[in-house]
Amino acid sequence: MQPKRRIALLGSTGSIGTQALEVIRANPDSFAVEVLTAQHNADLLIQQSAAFRPNAVVIGHEVRYDRVFAALDPLGIKVYAGANALASVVEMESIDLVLTALVGYAGLQPTLRAIRAGKPIALANKETLVVAGELVTRLAREKGVNIYPVDSEHSAIFQCLLGEFHNPIEKVILTASGGPFRGRSLESLRTVTKAQALKHPNWAMGAKVTIDSATLMNKGLEVIEAKWLFGLRASQVEVVVHPQSIIHSMVQFEDGSIKAQMGPPDMRLPIQFALGYPARLKSDFPRLDFRDYPQLTFEQPDTRTFRNLQLAFDALHQGGNMPCVVNAANEVAVAEFLRDAIGFLQISDLIAACMAKVPYIANPSYEDYVSTDLETRRIALENLSHMQ
């Protein structure tokens, strides 16, 4: 029997984090929790820590440190706070694998630190590769570190490639549900509400990812992530809308054959595959019954109505720091939409404005990514005043 794999779970209180803990709880002989981190949700972090007894926890919001420390120090759990602690804790010798389930740009620095420390990565933070894909993948190669995808689409591609790594890929086909507004006209989207945008037809996710799915930006970010994960050219990545979310993605090889990975829309499956790879651990998750899906349908995405997907493709083709610009502008735009400061279609307007105004850098360094992120957020907030 393989020894228990000790997991550092960054972002344990979010949607991916809580489902990852379900997987760990269901496989006590395979996994142990070494580190848990959360940004704001101190109460849930305390509950999780009491249940799983990690070696250490990090609360990102430093004002919540005293509450977490008072609850967990009597249990012998080390408690740290702040962004620097989050980036440092991944270097602990006792960690066997780091699951990065943080949302947004915040995942970049801890992931880089974990790779430098030689820790394998289970990557649920797509923004890490969107922002700095060339830097992250180069460092992983230098350190001999494996990055296992957790997003259902990239996990599907990874699974389709098992046993095929010697066969060149012609293209990958990422599937998209189309979100809650599939088939809607551009005009009708002008008045959609936050509540409507947060009702995804197939997946239960956090607010940021759910809005990204409604705008198709989530698929755009996944397109950029796929390029770096699988060493593809931009022209080798395609998106098709598949409303049933049963085929999670496909790979087409040079002979014309296509392999697809299928399963119910349940994120615990790709999480467990990433944590347990190369083993397929037994689970009692619901099974797919094809009788429940007499039709599987596919259609082209409407990139004129859902501009974010096209903007992401544009950034991928341009390269350099442009994906970083798209990510930062989108994070600001989604946050503003969630607080009812801008309309649904203005999310795309804000991203496009930032792409036009932030200076382009063809071969960015880490410092360039940091400055690009800051500059984009400044320009985005500046543009908001003209949109309101």
Section 307-311 average pLDDT: 98
Are 139 and 154 found together in one domain?
no
Q: Are residues 123 and 229 in the same domain?
A: no
Q: Does residue 142 share a domain with residue 69? A: yes
Pure H helices in 11-64: 15-26, 42-52
Distance (Å, whole) CA 327 – CA 221: 8
Tell me what pLDDT residue 385 has. Answer: 77
For the segment 216-243, the average pLDDT, to the nearest whole number, is 97
Q: Is residue 314 part of a domain?
A: no
* pLDDT of amino acid 206: 80
Q: Which residues touch 129 (CB under 8 Å, ≥6 apart)?
A: 123, 136, 137, 224, 225, 228, 229
pLDDT of residue 27: 97
What is the mean predicted confidence (pLDDT) over 69-86?
97
Q: Tell me the C-alpha distance between 330 and 291, whole Å.
A: 39
- CA 129 – CA 323 distance, rounded (Å): 9
Mind listing the pLDDT tens digit for each residue in 272-291? Answer: 999 999 999 999 999 999 99
- The count of domains in the chain is 3
Q: How far apart are CA 114 and CA 90, in angstroms?
A: 5
Question: Are 247 and 375 part of one and the same domain?
Answer: no
Residue 130 in contact with residue 324, Cβ under 8 Å? Answer: yes
278 is a domain residue = no
The larger pLDDT score, comparing residue 280 to residue 199, is at 280
Q: 165 and 94 in one domain?
A: no
Q: What is the mean pLDDT of residues 81-110?
A: 95
Q: What is the rounded CA–CA span in Å between residue 380 and residue 388?
A: 12
The answer to whether 99 touches 8, Cβ cutoff 8 Å, is: yes
Whether residue 359 is found in the same domain as residue 298:
no
Please say if the pLDDT value at position 67 is more than 90: yes
Domain contains 115: yes
379 Cβ contact list (under 8 Å, min separation 6): 329, 353, 354, 357, 358
**147 pairs with which residues across the strands?**
121
Q: Are residues 17 and 102 in the same domain?
A: yes
Note the pLDDT tens digit of each residue in 10-21. Answer: 999 999 999 999
Read off the pLDDT of residues 137-155 as tens digits, 9 standing for 90 and up. 999 999 999 999 999 999 9
Q: What is the pLDDT of residue 1?
A: 62
| Alpha-carbon span 112 to 122, nearest angstrom | 13
Q: What pLDDT is attached to residue 297?
A: 98
3 three-class SS: coil
List the domain range (segments joined by +) for residue 158. Answer: 150-266+285-307
Nearest-10 Cα torsion for 278, 281, 286, 291: 60
Instruction: Check whether residue 342 and residue 224 sit in a common domain.
Output: no
The 3-state DSSP class for residue 229 equals helix
Whole-number pLDDT of residue 2: 73
